[in-house]
Amino acid sequence: MRALARQEPDRVPTFEWLIAKKVREALCPGCKSHNEFAVRMGHDAILVDPDFTKTQVSPTRWRTEWGYVVEYGQEEHGVEVESPIQSMADFERYAPPDPLAPGRYATLEKAVREFKGKMAIGVHLNDVFSIPRYLMGMQSLLMAIACEPELIAALVNLSVETNLKMVREVAARGADFVWTGDDYAGNAGPLMSPAHFRTLFYPGLRRVAQGFKELGLPFIKHCDGNIWPISDMMVDAGISCLDPIDPQGGMDLAAVKARYGDRVAVKGNVDCARTLTSGTPEEVVAETRAALRKGMPGGGYICSSSNSIHSAVKPENYRVMLETLRQFGRYPLSL
């Protein structure tokens, strides 16, 4: 929490949004969950989602409470393959899940009972892109940005209103911070023009960030890829921390820290696309130390991968990253 407040803690904290089961089992045999792994590996945060139901519709596909269908492959994070909204008429008939439904925050309540005061408790919500993407599908959404801006505006407003209701509930139940995983960019740049981002998405992002801030919850904004064309808007919206400073997208941690370090904390950016996947242990040590050297000065830094610990990450490389962090990630800075 000191790092999220842009202060120097005693040491650099760490946690990951996702650790693949293959990696969890290799490093912690018998580990039953992401959060058990976090505890056993010495992470500094417990992560939970609101509880939404899903129904299996085929061996690899599940229909969510939101009405879209997700397909699961080799990774634990699925991809939407069927979506309920393709037109304004579909939107006008659509009703989102009730944010106040019984049991919606049972997982959070359990985490607060077990971990409050021991590990920071983060809740995954959304801002302005993922829910519209789930409800339309990526291709239809990107076409609508250009051709049906009124539909995009309606979907963004639905996402904002729903998440502002949800954040009041998670704040009341003892969450320490929130994070949103809405990815706006690929390695080549944002998925929409900066002009479209400013017109269609930025106002909603500001509303979300302000709502989180009013409740005293730091807001970690995740977006990998090359976000330079829209990063000023993301920071201006009022986020607390920018994640994951993706080197594959041309994001340099030192440059981000120099430009925004007096306004937001930063999280990342050990390369999980190459170094943690195919690099040598020596390369992992060097890259982790380089990230610490860039991120630690003045505080406000959380060390992690540049996205997640996915199934292609070598378990031993992730262990080396954590060992390097423990050895060198202490204040006062001495690298």
pLDDT tens digits, 91-146 = 999 999 999 999 999 999 999 999 999 999 999 999 999 999 999 999 999 999 99
Decide if 61 contacts 69 (C-beta within 8 A).
yes
Q: Percentage of residues in the chain with pLDDT exceeding 70?
A: 100
Q: 190 in a domain, yes or no?
A: yes
Domain membership flag for residue 59: no
d(CA 280, CA 136): 41
Residues 246, 269 contacting (CB under 8 angstroms): yes
**Could you tell me which residues are beta bridge partners of residue 125?**
180
Residue 297 in domain: yes
Residue type at 40? R
The CATH number of the domain holding residue 208 is 3.20.20.210
Cβ burial, residue 52 (10 Å; 0-12/13-18/19+) = exposed
Number of domains in the chain: 1
Around Cβ 197, how many Cβ atoms within 10 Å?
A: 23
Q: Which two tokens stand for residue 239?
A: 């986020």
pLDDT greater at residue 335 or residue 231: 231
Q: Which tokens sit at 99?
A: 């944010």
* Assigned domain for 215 exists: yes
pTM above 0.85, yes or no: yes
Question: Residue 163: which H helix or E strand, with range?
Answer: helix 149-172
Contacts of 103 (CB under 8 A, 6+ apart): 51
Spatial distance between the Cα atoms of 207 and 184, rounded to a whole number of angstroms: 17
State the Cα–Cα distance between residues 212 and 25, nearest whole angstrom.
35
Please report whether residue 300 resides in a domain: yes
- How much is the pLDDT for 167? 98
Read off the pLDDT band of 75 (50, 70, 90): confident
For 211, the domain range is: 21-50+104-328
Residue pLDDT, tens place only, 23-51? 999 999 999 999 999 999 999 999 999 99
* pLDDT above 80 (res 334): no
For residue 235, give both structure tokens.
């920071």
> Average pLDDT, stretch 220-226?
97
Q: What is the pLDDT of residues 57-72, one digit of tens each?
A: 999 999 999 999 999 9
Q: In 79-201, which residue ranges form alpha helices assigned H by DSSP? A: 88-93, 106-115, 130-136, 138-147, 149-172, 194-196
Q: Is residue 142 part of a domain?
A: yes
Residue 279 located in a structural domain: yes
Q: Which residues contact 40 (CB under 8 A, 6 or more apart)?
A: 28, 31
Q: Token digits for 302?
A: 């959380």
Tokens (6 digits) for 261? 């370090």
Dump pLDDT digits (tens) for 181-194: 999 999 999 999 99
User: Does pLDDT of 335 surpass 70?
Assistant: no
Residue 6 lies in a domain: no
Task: State how far the alpha carbon of 318 is from the alpha carbons of 15, 26, 46, in Å.
Answer: 12, 11, 18
3-state helix, strand, coil in the chain (%, to 5): 45, 15, 40
